[in-house]
Amino acid sequence: MSSLFNLEGKNCLVTGASKGMGKAMALALAEHGANVVISSRKQDQLEETANEINKQVGVQNIVPVAANAGRKEDLNQLVQETNRAIGKIDVLIGNAGVNPHYGPMSDISDEAYDKTMATNVKSNHWLCQMVAPDMISRGGGSIMITSSVGAFEPSLHLGAYAISKLAVIGLVRNLAAEYGPQNIRVNAICPAIIKTDFAKALWDDDTKAKEAISKIPLGRLGEPEDLQGLAVFLASNASSYITGQAMTVCGGGYMWR
């Protein structure tokens, strides 16, 4: 059997992973043999998710560690706890993100703008700084940061969020160039509308959903499970020559980007 997508022996950290896309990606990594620390703000939700995935996979390879992705001290503690729980990190998925403002940029408060940029961009920069030494010591690694197709166009309602996700792609490309010589690959995952609680305002309305679907060749909105294959691919040796890319998961709706 091919070992192309085999993740046995790989140690992974996934933020924003108590539900939605992060949970789905963590499950896929575990199903392919990885040890995975999942993180979000609430320990009780994480423990519920960890128990669910461990039961589904049949082995105890999911470890829950709570952390606030917007706090540097929390992220530092998260990396230390990950090292203690499963070892040095081979794969990082920075999936945690926020969108505290829905509306025009002219109405956004300084606090909401700063929170958006800090959590979606700066915290991932911090996290990459923290995990890169682990990856270098192990001969390489893979970093994925969740961006969005919102990075590719302006928005009248999600402007600051879109700006932050475009900045994520910039961060990814710079880190890909910087860490490439150490065999660390860095890529952005860019989902379109995925049916999660986080994106509920964009799909939990028949009119909005039908309008969005009309522009998607595959004729449906995305599900969290649609991120699983890409996460495993980018974590595995199957993507050993892919770095610095912004990879869309969009049903074809953004095929020209």
In the chain the domains, ranked by start, together with CATH numbers, are 11-249 (3.40.50.720)
pLDDT of 241 reads 98
2 is written with which tokens? 């091919």
pLDDT tops 80 at residue 199: no
Rounded mean pLDDT, 8-31: 97
pLDDT digits (tens, 9 = 90+) for 82-118: 999 999 999 999 999 999 999 999 999 999 999 999 9
Active-site residues, by number, are: 161
Rounded mean pLDDT, 204-227: 89
Q: Which amino acid belongs to residue 218?
A: L
Q: What is the pTM of this model?
A: 0.95
Closest alpha carbon to 42 in 11, 78, 18: 18
Distance (Å, whole) CA 93 – CA 251: 22
Mean pLDDT of the chain: 95
pLDDT digits (tens, 9 = 90+) for 22-38: 999 999 999 999 999 99
pLDDT of 152 reads 96
